[in-house]
Amino acid sequence: MTEPHRRPDLGDFEIDGLYLHSYTRELVQYIGEAWVHELREDVGVFAVVLGEDFVIATLRGYDRGETFQPFGDAVEDERRMGGDW
């Protein structure tokens, strides 16, 4: 049996953890993994905190540089760069 396709960082996300999505800059909460038959891939599923949408973390997104930065780290990075949260 072959290993399912999945992002290398899927194991790094914590259930209910808050992350900043690099493409949308939205705050998202990690829900878990799901198999998407159409993609033939395990994906990470995130709920947008201030909305009703979802973001899925795919291998294709990973290959294109998409990241999900832990929210606490994102706030610290912003403060170091002189931003105001």
pLDDT tens figures, 35-48: 999 999 999 999 99
Computed over its alpha carbons, how large is the radius of gyration of the chain? 14
Q: pLDDT band at 84, cuts 50/70/90? A: low
Of the two residues 25 and 75, the one the predictor is more confident about is 25
Q: What is the pTM of this model?
A: 0.82
pLDDT, the chain, mean = 88
pLDDT tens figures, 62-83: 999 999 999 987 667 666 766 5
- Distances in Å between the Cα of 10 and the Cα atoms of 62, 77, 83 are 10, 22, 29
Residues 5-80, CATH architecture: Roll (2.30)
Q: Which two tokens stand for residue 54?
A: 């979802």
Of the two residues 15 and 75, the one the predictor is more confident about is 15
